Structure 1
Amino acid sequence: MCLIALSWRTHARYPLLIAANRDEFHARPADPAAHWQDTPQVYGGRDRLQGGGWLAVSRRGRLAAITNVRRMLPPNPRTLSRGRLVADFVRGDGSAQEFCEALMPHAHEYGGFNLLLWDGACLRFATNQGETGESREVDPGIHVLSNATLDTPWPKSERLRTAMQQASGHDTPDIEALFTALADTAIAPDAALPDTGLELERERWLSSPFIRGPEYGTRASTVVLVAQDRLRFVERLFGPNGRANGDSDQVLPLAAD
């Protein structure tokens, strides 16, 4: 994923709400959200190259979502796929804290990542940014995550934060309003752009919540609503230049098995 907004313990019926866009090269093969054949209790999209994921849930009450970190470094072919972290967590049974404690000593072996983990009770954030990385419990509230660290106020993150605040203020969260915010293609003013080392035109292009391009862009918009006994996973897919490419809406009962 490259943009996530979440509501954590702010809604009476849904302790966790997620709205997210996955940005990726269109040529990279991936499966749409579905039950994983090798782990049927897991549901989500899946990367065909490495077998990992970007946003996945488990009927056992687990969720993992990840974004990359925008840093102007040449790719290192020896780094491990960050999508494996999503797959490993949702297929496991340890707590989010236990997973992070085991991960952090070798977090630098993965591509730059920001990771959100929910184990049914706790929501945790982990990143390998900086010399030692960071792992901490997420406080209740509305949070945003893009390609910097948690709650960095990039323009597209703040626009999605506002949408999440409004959508989560209803007795039944306004899913369509979240998808409208995820589909926003408005470019941020130059004065508000982050300085991540990219040339200005590319920084502008990447500043909108929804990125449209022939080779790279937003490939999936997803909204997840987690209730006490079930969750709803709604996905809309896109091809080159933002062309609609299918959608799905799945309700999964949560169980302890």
Structure 2
Amino acid sequence: MCTLTLAWQVFEDAPVAVAANRDEALDRPAGPPDVYRASPLVIAPHDVEAGGTWIGVNEHGVFAGITNRWTERDLAGERSRGLLVADVLETTSAADAAAHVERTTSEHEYEGFNLVVADAEDAIHLGWDGSLSRTAFDPGVHVVVNVGFDETFALPAERRDLGERQAESARAVREALEPRDDERVEGWLERAGTVLGDHEYGVCIHGDGYGTRSSSLLAVGERTRYEFADGPPCRTAYEPVGIEGQF
């Protein structure tokens, strides 16, 4: 699974704050965050195998991040979900990004996904399982995993036990990352990185050929900051991504 935690309109100087783990096949090649596109400027990691990306931010303050979505439908997946993330990072607002997703899912069939787009004005969850759902987030902390988000979960019959564990992990992460009194975004992101690497929460995965490949911490606002762990956060330090002065 992947885990995406969004604190939206919680911190005054960073209306979008994100902590996310990426789980993937261990041998799938990927590049760390860098300039993914120059115009508009997009900072994102790169999926070398299929192109596209799974998380990123652009010069307009638009964030996008995706997780797989488990579904019982047989979807063709004719276009990479990572290319969809790259597409929405060309937009100038989260609202425009959501409109783009609505258009492209009427033209292409993707494998199931949970996509979050956010900026200072809007935060939107777009879920695709052969049909598209759209949910506007309220201010606060939200956690997205393969089976859904917050208290909105759909558990496929063939993965019900694992899906229930995912849902419990999402609830635990959300509770742990509720903001503390007078907490600033820097402190919240530090706590979030610790939670994402703590096996007690079940979101740092180690399996046979599959597991948590990387982790991202982002603050998008007056000054955009990005830290990246190029490996499981339980044993990999977060390092700053060199974007100072580019936004």
Which position in structure 2 is the counterpart of 1:216? 210
Which position in structure 2 is the counterpart of 1:151? 150
Which position in structure 2 is the counterpart of 1:14? 14
What amino acid maps onto 1:110 in structure 2?
Y
SS in structure 2 of the partner of residue 96 of structure 1: helix
Which position in structure 2 is the counterpart of 1:59? 59
| CA RMSD across the alignment | 2.8
Q: Following the alignment from structure 2 to structure 1, what is the Cα–Cα distance between the partners of residues 141 and 122?
A: 15
Q: Following the alignment from structure 1 to structure 2, what is the Cα–Cα distance between the partners of residues 186 and 231?
A: 30
Contact 2:33/2:241 (8 A) holds in 1: no
Change (3 A) 1:124 1:252: farther
Contact 2:56/2:63 (8 A) holds in 1: yes
Gapped regions of structure 1 (runs ≥ 5): 188-207
Deviation string, structure 1 residues 138-181 (Cα, Å, up to 9, x no partner): 22121110001221471221222123214685034313211110
Equivalent position to 1:247, from 220, 239, 242: 239
Which position in structure 1 is the counterpart of 2:111? 111
Change (3 A) 1:87 1:73: same
Which position in structure 1 is the counterpart of 2:135? 136
Gapped regions of structure 2 (runs ≥ 5): 154-166
Deviation string, structure 1 residues 56-112 (Cα, Å, up to 9, x no partner): 111222111000012366784x532111111001123462342233134246x0011
SS in structure 2 of the partner of residue 238 of structure 1: coil
Compute the TM-score of the two structures, normalised by the length of structure 1.
0.78
Which position in structure 2 is the counterpart of 1:176? 190
Change (3 A) 1:44 1:97: closer
SS in structure 2 of the partner of residue 230 of structure 1: coil
Which position in structure 1 is the counterpart of 2:226? 233
Q: Percent identity?
A: 29
Deviation string, structure 1 residues 182-205 (Cα, Å, up to 9, x no partner): 001137xxxxxxxxxxxxxxxxxx
Q: What is the aligned residue count? A: 230
Q: Following the alignment from structure 1 to structure 2, what is the Cα–Cα distance between the partners of residues 133 and 98?
A: 12
Compute the TM-score of the two structures, normalised by the length of structure 2.
0.81
Q: Following the alignment from structure 2 to structure 1, what is the Cα–Cα distance between the partners of residues 245 and 118?
A: 16
